[in-house]
Structure 1
Amino acid sequence: MSQKVVVIYSGGMDSFTVLHKAVAAGHDVYALSFNYGQRHVKELICAANVCKELNIKHKIVDISAINQLISGSSLTSDIDVPEGHYAADNMKSTIVPNRNMILLSLAVGYADSIGARAVYYGAHSGDHFIYPDCRPEFVQKMNDVCQIANYQPVDIVSPYLYQTKIEILADGLAMGLDYSKTWTCYNGRDKACGKCGSCQERLEAFNLNNTADPLPYE
């Protein structure tokens, strides 16, 4: 059934797929992107372009001031981005403390203000090892809180929570999505680095779907 929903949309391939899944379901989608002081804004540019193309209502909100409180991540501080797969312990440096709780809280506030009854975000099983705020128990607890935080309950929806990026990409390819309109690399250079955990997981997903990644790599 169609309803008004908020989609947390980073501009990366996971949230890109979630966005289109919500659109395909016939929902009235309000996309919400955050500048939280990440190393670059290439994802946000991708997000803006996609929303303009699809004529989706879109807000990019600057919350970069939170870096005064939550420093220490290689995604937001002057720390080298680690290379390797997400299964490696060194990838823990990419954790931004409490990021998803903060973003979800803001998105739920936005949802309540516009009368939306759900907030979608792209947590998936590949994130579970490194990121506590992408695990099923976190999503369930956040959903429990968001049922009682306002007069009207808001559902937290993670449609790919128990699926891998490989399966997410397969779903997106089945929808005919063009992943050249996304950015995944933690580095914001002209081409994707191909070495950071985000690039490696993306390349693995395309390889296992027997499809070439449309992005150029260094």
Structure 2
Amino acid sequence: MKTLVICSGGLDSVSLAHIIADQQQLTRLVSFDYGQRHRKELDFAAAAARRLNVPHHLIDMRGIGASLSGSALTDDIDVPDGHYAEETMRITVVPNRNAIMLAIGFGVAAANGDEAVATAVHGGDHFIYPDCRPAFTQAFDAMQQAALDGYASVRLHTPFVERSKADIVRAGAAHGTPFAETWSCYKGGELHCGRCGTCVERREAFHLAGVGDPTAYADPDYWAQAVAARGTA
């Protein structure tokens, strides 16, 4: 199946790209600049496209992103430390982000004769991100069948939507994903900070998966404290 992958440059989407390249026909990676705090992750997405020898479509959504205000990912708001599943992480929600990106992805797929759009939303996202939940992905897929009816047949592929990030690490490792060539940290420093929700979740996932974590963290031990705090909350 000819499949487009929505790729942020993070561990999940780069792993998905490698899996699709092995199991299906990877046609292209699509990334979005929506005015996020930093562009480091987009450099990793571009590198993944080069490594997998497919086109990289970088969509400029900065004009749209400027209107999706109120998030620590787009505004001058501090990114909180702690576990991803804490209420404080809701400040990282960018309203309707996935719906907008997926709609564009489906348009790109239809225009290029692709048969599927793959996205790496996973079970760990469900708590704070409504547009990562199964109810959303199922409804979105149905909507796109109506939107493209008679023009193209493109399906939404969400292999991780009921799985954990540790599952993604295991699957990514099985398909040769170079985890060191991915970027998760929301803060965008020289190293992964080790303290924001995505860093804590990343470090925990490697631990649970039993896979060595090649990531250099500014604070490599904070994750255990954050996980413990979440367990007693």
TM-score by length of 2: 0.90
The number of residues matched between the two structures is 216
SS in 1 for 2:146: coil
1:169 aligns to what? 169
Amino acid at match of 1:14: D
Match of 1:157 in 2: 157
CA shift for structure 1 position 176: 2.5
Structure 1 runs (4+) deviating above 4 angstroms are: none
The DSSP-based 3-state class of the residue aligned with 2:57 is strand
Cα offsets for 1:97-134 (capped at 9, x unmatched): 00000000000111111111210001100000110000
What is the CA-CA distance between 1:145 and the residue it aligns to?
0.5
State which drifts further: 31-40 or 46-55.
Answer: 46-55
Letter in 2 for 1:176: G
- Post-superposition offset of 1:4: 2.0
* Post-superposition CA distance 1:48-101 (Å, at most 9, x none): 112112211111111111133210100011000011112210100000000000
Q: Write out aligned runs for 1:54-133 (5 A).
A: 54-133=52-131
Counterpart-to-counterpart distance in 2, 1:146 and 1:28:
20
**TM superposition shift of 1:210:** 2.7
The separation in 2 between residues aligned to 1:167 and 1:114, in whole angstroms, is: 31
Aligned residues with identical type, % of pairs: 45
Alpha-carbon separation, structure 1, partners of 2:65 and 2:101: 14
By how many angstroms is 1:27 displaced? 0.7
CA distance in 2, matches of 1:137, 1:144: 11
Q: CA deviation at 1:153?
A: 2.7
| 8 Å contact kept, 1:42–1:188 | yes
Q: Distance in 1 between matches of 2:201 and 2:12?
A: 11
Q: Distance in 1 between matches of 2:188 and 2:171?
A: 27
Question: C-alpha separation between the residues in 2 aligned to 1:177 and 1:71?
Answer: 33
> Which ranges in structure 1 are unaligned for 5 or more consecutive residues?
none
